[in-house]
Amino acid sequence: MLNLKSLLLTIMRKRWLVLGLCAWTLAAAAQTFPGKTVRWIAPFPPGGGTDVISRTLAQKLTEAWGQQVVVENRAGSGGTIGLAAAAKAPADGYNIVLGQLANVAIAPALYPRLPYDPTRDLQPVTLVLSAPLILVAHPSLPAGNTKELLALARAKPDDITFGSPGNGTTGHLAGEMIKSATGVRLTHVPYKGASPAITGLLGGEIAIYVSSIPPALPLMQAGRLKALGVTSAKRTATLPNVPTIAESGLPGYEVTNWYGVMVPTGVPRDILGRVHADLVRVLQMPEVRQRFAGEGGDVAPNTPEQFAAFVKSEIAKWSKAVRDSGARID
């Protein structure tokens, strides 16, 4: 019995020693992180909002960490190629990706063979930016706000055309959500990208379009487009005189394009905490907030737990929108 008891005590001591060494190793790794170049994946081409946000944050983290944070543009398939690359990368803290509404919340319902599960394969770090969209119209449309648009659509079913950057895009689904919430009949006209859609709107090929604010703002200021409503729950400081769609006949309507930092699932907690803390510190810098204001949104950092809950709610919301629209991409 004494030998058995001694054996058990020895095993327990060794077990606690191993656990203690593991904890010490993880803590030491967090203190020395990063010890080499960090890869930051931007899932869209250079020049767009994802690229601008990624390069701004990567530069600030490079300064804070004393190690290069290199942005790698992995574009294609609506941002899903870049997110898939991040999901398959080592979970060591040296692989970071900027996810967004399209490839995190919309893609799971839109792509039947998506090569990743955003809630299983990726670990949320923090929300970065939340940006409202704006419903704009060609000046010839006899409606000055969303309420008048809906009245016109009810009087002339299928006559009003709404354009989008393509089937299943945020702009398409935002329009479909207006249709499903009100029962009005609008005719969808998909384009191959945002630029062709705006060109079509300016030329009178379509009547309305849900756009991000930065490209639409100068066109509205020049009188070439008119604003009917913003898609956020509250009015935006960028356009304080433009009512929300929610206050103009669609209570509860809210669509915001958002960006958030994620890492492969399994990154050690201490390293995740280090990345989160330093990102939040960067996002609080006045120059970063000012830079991101140019993207038409508000800096909105939160905890990994809050971001994870937000992602789940967004996936549920946009899965319904995709089902209602019938959109599908093979």
Tens digits of per-residue pLDDT, 81-137? Answer: 999 999 999 999 999 999 999 999 999 999 988 999 999 999 999 999 999 999 999
109 within some domain: yes
| CB neighbour class for 50 (10 Å; exposed up to 12, middle 13-18, buried from 19) | buried
The CA-based diameter of the chain, rounded to the nearest angstrom, is 94
Query: Quick one: 107 and 40 in the same domain?
Result: yes
What is the per-residue DSSP string for 22-61?
Answer: HHHHHHHHHHH---S-EEEEESS-TTSHHHHHHHHHHHHH
Query: In this structure, is residue 12 part of a structural domain?
Result: no
- The confidence band for 319, taking pLDDT boundaries of 50, 70 and 90, is very high
Whether the per-residue pLDDT at 22 is higher than 60: the answer is no
* Interval 261-302: pLDDT, tens: 999 999 999 999 999 999 999 999 999 998 888 777 889 899
Whether omega for the bond prior to residue 132 falls within 30 degrees of 0, making it cis, is no
* 146 and 223 inside one domain: yes
Q: How high is the pLDDT of residue 276?
A: 98
**Is 4 part of a structural domain of the chain?**
no
Last residue of a domain, one of 214, 248, 282: 248
Contacts of 211 (CB under 8 A, 6+ apart): 133, 134, 136, 171, 194, 198
Q: Are 236 and 230 in contact (CB under 8 A)?
A: yes
Are both 202 and 279 inside the same structural domain? no
User: 7 in a domain, yes or no?
Assistant: no
The rounded distance, in Å, linking the Cα atoms of 320 and 109 is 8
- Supply the range of the domain harboring residue 190: 132-248
Q: For the domain that residue 223 is a member of, what is the CATH number?
A: 3.40.190.10
Q: Is residue 317 part of a domain?
A: yes
For 184-206, how does the pLDDT look when each residue is reduced to its tens digit (9 = 90+)?
A: 999 999 998 888 999 999 999 99
Residues 55 and 101 placed together within one structural domain of the fold? yes
Same domain, residue pair 139 and 120? no
pLDDT value at position 48? 83
pLDDT at 174 over 80: yes
* pLDDT value at residue 18: 46
**What pLDDT was estimated at residue 25?**
47
Strand 95-100 vs strand 256-264: parallel, antiparallel, or unpaired? antiparallel
pLDDT range class, residue 26, cuts 50, 70, 90: very low
H-type alpha helices, the chain: 2-32, 49-65, 80-87, 107-110, 146-155, 170-182, 194-202, 213-221, 269-283, 286-293, 304-325
| 270 and 321 part of one domain | yes
- What total of structural domains would you count in the chain? 2
**Does some domain include residue 8?**
no
Q: Characterize 91-117 residue by residue with b for buried, 16 or more Cβ atoms within 10 angstroms of its Cβ, and e for exposed.
A: bbbbbbbbbbbbbbbbbbbbbeebebe
Phi first, then psi: give them for residue 73, nearest 5 degrees.
-80, 115
Report pLDDT for 295: 75
Last residue of a domain, one of 205, 220, 248: 248
**Based on the domain organization, do 123 and 266 belong to the same domain?**
yes
Split at pLDDT 50, 70, 90, the class of 3 is low
Burial class (CB in 10 A: 0-12, 13-18, 19+), 277: exposed
The answer to whether residue 1 sits within a structural domain is no
